[in-house]
Structure 1
Amino acid sequence: MIPTGSHHSQARDGSLAGVGPSTGSHHRNPTPYSLGDSSASATRITPGNALRPEDIALAAAEGTAHPREAVAEYALRLGDDALILAQRLGHWISRGPELEEDVALGNIALDQLGHARSFLTYAGAAWGKSEDDLAYYRREPEFRSAHLFEQPNGDFAVTIARQFIAASYQYLLYRELTRSSDPMLAAIAGKAVKEVDYHLDHSTQWVLRLAGGTEESNRRMIAGLELMWPFVGELFEDDPLIAEVGDAGVVPSSLKEEFDRATAAVLAEAGVEVPAHPMATGGGRHGRHSEHLGYLLAEMQVLAREYPGASW
């Protein structure tokens, strides 16, 4: 089990070799949706009535949580994003640049896995499937994650670049989704946005530290951003499903202006330019993925497929 700890405590000191001290100037105050404190994480047992995947499954079994088809498809997209990102971040466990960052990335991965479980459980209620059915027994073309989340970790700076984009997007998305007309989606988002707020702080501090550290860390941070930025566009594409979901979901394109403004402010403080590379083709929302997802799924699904129904 991953030890628990603050996701972003390591971002506050400058002990990583080759990286300058944190500026501390970009610390973000908790969002109005961040009720409670920083311990309100999927990786901790905390007081209160936070929604759990088990609660969603029970509501589905009792017939009180049954999303319409379009809402289930929408929840599937969000669940797949979080699931694939959790798998990527989990690869850093025992490989972090130092122990505290190893713990931080592991905890963020667990938070993402918690979000995935909730969204997939709710989506599965429409089709009589469990979270495990959707995670382990779908083929690659049946996954609806955006291309960003399946990109390889690369070095630490590449992972931070991907995480900075992902957290910036998810924070805005979940913040708006708390206003969903679908009570279950709103409840899932209300829990997730508090956790992603700290994921965003963690990645922001690392962007600033790496860009403002040594010549080598600056070069790697810029290279990581240039590698990941082409996948930004797909996150904000609208399609017919979004129109069908209506006010139960969030129109992706409505988030783009604030995303651009917020990320540009961080990169300006870091002294680096927003990458100007053309956007990648995309297609992940419709099952068209890069060559990377198949390998990730093969590793993730092998145990469940080799021993279906196994328990321990």
Structure 2
Amino acid sequence: MSIYSKILVVADINHDEQPALARAIQLAQKSTSTSKVTFFLSIYDFSYDMTSMLSIDERDAMRRGVIHQREQWMRKVAEPYVCDGIEFDVKVVWHNRPYEAIIAEVFAGSHDIVIKGTRKHDVLESVIFTPTDWHLLRKCPSPVLLVKNSDWPEDANIIASVHVGSENDTHIDLNDRMVEQLNSLSSRLNASPYLVNAYPVTPANITIELPEFDPTTYTDAVRGHHLTSMKALRQKHGYDEEKTIVEQGLPEDVIPEVAEKLNAAMVILGTTGRTGLSAVFIGNTAEHVIDKINCDVLALKPNGYVSPLDPQTAT
């Protein structure tokens, strides 16, 4: 089965232009099976619940009226994007926490991916991530694609930030998942795929504490290990060597630099939460990388990840 056949798109209530919906339709059009796109919005107005002059039935009727108005607006703004061959639906819910409503819909509808627009700073051209974005990155069980622009550039590049130096099963599995997603997205969006890996700089304190320590030999050994591991990954997935990049430095520095150099339209990141625990947080490295990337970002969770909002585990 092709990935992303059930797509949940979060509507941007502040604009008629819907870049997330544009990207969703792009992906759906390239699907090998019939795709369903659900255009979703969570709304809430505290005043409707606090109006003591109205009865419960009257408050419910007012809420239904607001929801109906939003549904009509969503269908109108979606018209330029929606096309034949794609199952399309609109859903509006009344909820005071948008990220909880989105994640609840992911579970209820078994959605393969959540696509949401991000805010672009007009002056610095940087992406500003909202609290809802961060909650989704940390807690959503499905992949989350944060979209910056509606227009997909010609001859685009997509990079996957793999972690090949680790022998941890979670990282190995996550690398494979990222490459699979990279292959599918590159094919659907007519883009060139790249694998990028950062390896650590030799700690300066080691050369001070151990005078006999040779930092050059150590650095060469670390680089050699990462190059060998990257070779194994690219050969496993049929990638040419020129499509792989191994650079020394922190991921939060290397990945944004490579993304800018390649003029990447999307970066795929793995977010390694503590699997099986309710208190799961996106890794600090991923947070730092995301803050510096000025293009679409796709965040993937490892297999075994359990969302703290999973209804089956909620108490």
Shorter-normalised TM range: under 0.3
User: Which structure is richer in relative contact order (CA contacts within 8 A, separation 6 or more)?
Assistant: 1
Compute the TM-score of the two structures, normalised by the length of structure 1: 0.28
The structure having more radius of gyration, on CA atoms, is: 2
Q: Which of the pair is proportionally richer in strand? A: 2
TM-score, with length taken from structure 2: 0.27
